[in-house]
Amino acid sequence: MATIEMKVPSPGESITEVVIARWLKKDGEYVEKDEEVAEVDSDKATLTINAEESGAIKLLAAEGDTVKVGQVVCSIDTSVKGEKKVEVVAPKVEAKVEAKKEVVKETVKTDSYASGTPSPAAKKMMDENKVPANKVAASGKDGRITKGDVLHALSAGFDSSATSGWGGSRDTDRTKMTPLRKKLAQRLVSVKMKLLC
């Protein structure tokens, strides 16, 4: 059984440790040579770790762990051979369609980036009247909220006093900072302190 240990490569000088941001492969999964297996964050950049050989991967560090440069984070068992993926193509079956005099046109609703997004004029009216986007029925192209949609919602008796508690809250959600964000925050604070002095 041939096993290759994969170590954290040096992302640059002066960097001694990195954080495993996420694993792109699961423990025991088959990986191909040069396939990306993990993303690591350092003080300066986010990098990927690529498989050195093909085989079954064994993870030795968890996501979010801080590891030293040169530390072994996973191993690859090269004695495991991957199965070739064979795509099964189903034969095409042609359905007989009877011709009809009337052609029925179906409207296919597709989600796009504009779904639920107000136009500039609609956004201004929504902000002035404190109307949230999820309370307005969108009728514009690709699901966009139009000025007419907002006017219709307001004329239908929308009570803006009911939205008083819908604003933001002062609740905080703390998550661990990545090394890059941490270093950036340290440098911003040091610059601010220099300006104040």
What is the pLDDT at residue 91? 47
* Domain contains 66: yes
What is the pLDDT at residue 108? 46
Task: Name the residue among 179, 195, 193, 182 with its Cα closest to residue 39.
Answer: 179
Number of domains forming the structure of the chain: 2
* Domain contains 36: yes
What is the pLDDT at residue 169? 61
Question: And the tokens for 97?
Answer: 């369609």
What is the pLDDT at residue 171? 66
Mean pLDDT by 10 residues, the chain (197 residues): 86 87 91 92 87 92 91 91 50 44 45 72 83 79 83 73 58 78 89 86
Residues 126 and 72 in one domain: no
Residues 68 and 126 in one domain: no
Residues 73 and 126 in one domain: no
CA distances to 91, 97 from 94, rounded to whole Å, are: 10, 9
What DSSP string runs through 120-188? Answer: HHHHHHHHHHT--GGGS---SGGGPBPHHHHHHHHHTT--GGGGTT-S--------PPPHHHHHHHHHH
What is the pLDDT at residue 57? 93
What is the pLDDT at residue 110? 53
Q: Hey, which residues does 6 pair with through a beta bridge?
A: 74
Residue 187's φ and ψ, nearest 5 degrees, are: -70, -35
What is the pLDDT at residue 15? 87
Domain CATH code at residue 24: 2.40.50.100
Task: Tell me how far apart the alpha carbons of residues 59 and 12 are, in angstroms, rounded to a whole number.
Answer: 24
Parent domain of 127: 120-159
* Domain contains 85: no
46, 77, 108 - which closes a domain: 77
Gap between the terminal Cα atoms of the chain:
63
DSSP-derived letter for residue 64 is: T
* Domain contains 144: yes
Domain CATH code at residue 137: 4.10.320.10
Residue 67 in contact with residue 41, Cβ under 8 Å?
Answer: no
pTM for the full predicted model: 0.48
Residues 60 and 124 in one domain: no
* Domain contains 101: no
* Domain contains 87: no
Task: Tell me how far apart the alpha carbons of residues 3 and 56 are, in angstroms, rounded to a whole number.
Answer: 9
